[in-house]
Amino acid sequence: MTVLTLNQTIELLKRFAYLHMALGRNENNDHFFYGDSWELGASTSPKFALMHLVLDSTTKEGNLITRNFKVEFSDLVNKDENNELHVQSDTEQMCFDLLIYLGNIQDDGDLGITISKTSNLQPFTEEGDDERTGWGFDFSITGHVGNLSCALPIVPGNYFENNYIFVGGASAGSFTVEIKDQDGNVLQTFTTSGEYVVEVLNRVRDTITANTATIIDPIV
């Protein structure tokens, strides 16, 4: 199943603006803008009619990712406002067109995405410095992430560096360990980042029998 990145999702929506006959259909696709409202017109002047897209949030639940968007379709109204109703009607229709366009992609099934079923369209007038008029609505696109654990861009290796050990279910970094006898005397100290050799005793030389009261020879 196809996994859409954010960049691919934006391109999918941008493609709608390019294909829509009321949104210019030019190579620059400057009738489409993606970004915050305060950025609109900051670098280049948008062309109208305009499709303005904003990403509100992304949520992940299990193997599903949902991206929540807000989109506005707007156009300019004459100073005497004699075309305001015409602009409102056209931009409302653009909202419907986008929902149908996304619904067709969902029904096609190739991209494996789901579009939010209900959208509440909100009108606006004289918005921004250019006093544009139009409609906006929120919608979401949900896609299947899939199991990508084998494709993680991470070099294989241990989860922790070599000088980390687990203590009581938690990890700890480099520190000093003391070996003590039963009387609390420190026999040896070492740090977790070093290498140490432990001599293992091979055997007890004398065999303890039922009549032996004392072990005479030491363990070597």
Q: What's the DSSP call for residue 80?
A: T
Mean model confidence pLDDT for the chain: 81
Contact between residue 14 and residue 24 where contact means Cβ atoms under 8 Å apart: no
Helix (H) or strand (E) holding 144, with range, is strand 132-144
Question: Residue 101: is its pLDDT beyond 90?
Answer: yes
Determine, yes or no, domain membership for 217. Answer: no
Q: What is the pTM of this model?
A: 0.69
The alpha-carbon radius of gyration of the chain (Å, integer) is: 35
Question: Residue 160: is its pLDDT beyond 80?
Answer: no
Find, among 136, 137, 24, 134, the residue nearest to 77 by Cα: 134
Query: Using one digit for the tens of pLDDT, what is the confidence trace for 29-60?
Result: 789 999 998 888 776 678 899 999 999 999 99
Question: Residue 175: is its pLDDT beyond 80?
Answer: no
Determine, yes or no, domain membership for 39. Answer: yes
The residue-averaged pLDDT of 88-95 equals: 97
In which band, very low, low, confident or very high, does the pLDDT at 129 lie, cut at 50, 70 and 90? Answer: confident
Residue 142 main-chain phi, psi, to 5 deg? -110, 130
Angle subtended by helix axes 6-19 and 84-108, to nearest 10: 130
pLDDT at 99 (0 to 100)? 95
Residue 34, domain CATH: 3.30.70
Determine, yes or no, domain membership for 48. Answer: yes
Question: Residue 197: is its pLDDT beyond 70?
Answer: no
Helix (H) or strand (E) holding 15, with range, is helix 6-19
Determine, yes or no, domain membership for 205. Answer: no
Say how many domains are in the chain: 1
Determine, yes or no, domain membership for 68. Answer: yes
Query: Using one digit for the tens of pLDDT, what is the confidence trace for 67-78?
Result: 999 999 999 999
Determine, yes or no, domain membership for 186. Answer: no
Identify the domain containing residue 114 by its residue range: 6-151
Determine, yes or no, domain membership for 167. Answer: no
Determine, yes or no, domain membership for 164. Answer: no
